[in-house]
């Protein structure tokens, strides 16, 4: 399995990038830069490309609604160019809270829009003249919707690659099937190795049956916090705020994809309680209600022998890239954790 890491720049982006050389020597293969309602990921990925030479870089993720499809394609081509062909375009729908709340853009038709964005991006990278008639995007814009002066154009520059890898974040069955069909990679959330087949197996099989051979095997990118040691159980509690936020607060009742996922994992009553508490403003109680066995199953936290067993479980469940967040307090310890897990995953 390849080892990746999200770029944690809470202590400063420049400082975080300066430390990447040590992680690369330890076996880190790819680094992901997130974009929520934060600094944009693109400027930071460009900086990252300029300060590194071999490590792969990826957006983790860019929301599909915040840029036009062609700008997304141009951005990916530009990042692939300045990185010398090391960029992976991570895309996702995000959620109504961010898209409508922060960007003021309607959150509609996420599946259909994602498919069309990917198709347009690949046409741009192939330097085709863009004549695209989709349900949600039409290029050029029809005369009745504009001035009538729009022309079919192709990107001026020659992209480094006409097939930049696309990674889709998805957890719903239809989204997962689409990722397995059209993308080079799939990024689930709260990946539970023992439940993955039950929850996503049918969707993955459905998408894989329609997958083009030139895409190659699906890269399954699984995120997990990482801590190696005999006395590390207490670190599971560090996961509670994020788990409660996503399961409880990322959407209204009936519109929370992460709550749905917890239910599909079998935590029906727990998911309902977490959501009720979180939406009532009782966040600490919601955090306490997150089942510890769910936290443990979706993390790589524990003694060496246990973690080697967990890595085997992740591999058995289909994970090909582990996107780990080392929880050690000091830089040298985080590097050592990456080196150790890379050795086990070899």
The pLDDT of residue 12 is 77
Q: Cα(219)–Cα(164) distance, rounded to whole angstroms?
A: 14
- What is the phi/psi pair of residue 66, to 5°? -90, -5
Per residue in 306-342, pLDDT (tens digit) is 999 999 999 999 999 999 999 998 999 999 999 999 9
List Cα–Cα distances, 49 to 38, 59, 80, 211, in angstroms.
Answer: 20, 12, 9, 31
pTM: 0.96
Identify whether 258 is preceded by a cis peptide bond (ω within 30 of 0): no
Q: What domains appear along the chain, each with residue ranges and CATH number? A: 2-225+318-345 (3.20.20.30), 231-302 (no CATH)
Per residue in 94-146, pLDDT (tens digit) is 988 899 999 999 999 999 999 999 999 999 999 999 999 999 999 999 999 99
H helix runs in the chain, sequence order: 13-18, 20-25, 41-51, 69-82, 96-101, 110-125, 173-182, 193-209, 240-244, 257-264, 268-279, 283-288, 292-297, 304-316, 331-345
Q: Which of 164, 160, 163 is nearest to 81 (CA)?
A: 160
Confidence tier at 11 by pLDDT (50, 70, 90): low
């Amino acid at each position: 399995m390849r080892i990746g890491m999200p770029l944690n720049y809470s202590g400063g982006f420049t400082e975080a990038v300066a430390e990447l050389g040590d992680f690369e020597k330890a076996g880190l293969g790819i680094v992901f830069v997130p974009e929520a309602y934060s600094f944009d990921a693109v400027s930071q990925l460009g900086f990252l490309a300029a300060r590194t030479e071999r490590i792969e870089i990826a957006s983790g993720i860019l929301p599909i609604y915040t840029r036009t499809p062609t700008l997304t394609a141009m951005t990916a081509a530009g990042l692939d160019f300045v990185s010398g062909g090391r960029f992976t375009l991570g895309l996702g729908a995000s959620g109504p809270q961010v898209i409508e709340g922060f960007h003021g853009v309607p959150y509609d038709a996420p599946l259909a829009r994602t498919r069309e964005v990917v198709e347009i991006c690949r046409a741009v990278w192939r330097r085709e003249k863009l004549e695209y008639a989709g349900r949600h995007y039409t290029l050029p814009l029809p005369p009745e919707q504009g001035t009538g002066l729009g022309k079919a154009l192709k990107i001026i520059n020659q992209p480094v690659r006409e097939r930049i890898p696309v990674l889709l974040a998805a957890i719903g069955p239809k989204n997962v099937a689409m990722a397995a069909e059209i993308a080079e990679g799939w990024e689930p959330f709260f990946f539970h190795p023992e439940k993955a087949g039950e929850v996503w197996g049918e969707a993955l099989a459905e998408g894989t049956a329609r997958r083009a051979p030139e895409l190659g095997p699906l890269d399954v990118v699984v995120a997990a916090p990482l801590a190696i040691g005999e006395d590390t159980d207490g670190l599971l509690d560090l996961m509670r705020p994020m788990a409660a936020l996503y399961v409880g607060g990322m959407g209204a009742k009936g519109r929370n994809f992460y709550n749905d996922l917890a239910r599909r994992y079998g935590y029906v009553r727990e998911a309902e309680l977490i959501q009720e508490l979180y939406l009532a403003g009782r966040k600490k109680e919601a955090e306490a209600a997150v089942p510890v066995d769910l936290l443990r199953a979706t993390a790589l936290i524990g003694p060496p022998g246990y973690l080697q067993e967990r890595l085997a479980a992740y591999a058995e469940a289909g994970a090909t890239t582990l996107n780990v967040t080392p929880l050690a307090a000091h830089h040298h310890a985080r590097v050592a954790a990456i080196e150790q897990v890379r050795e086990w995953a070899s």
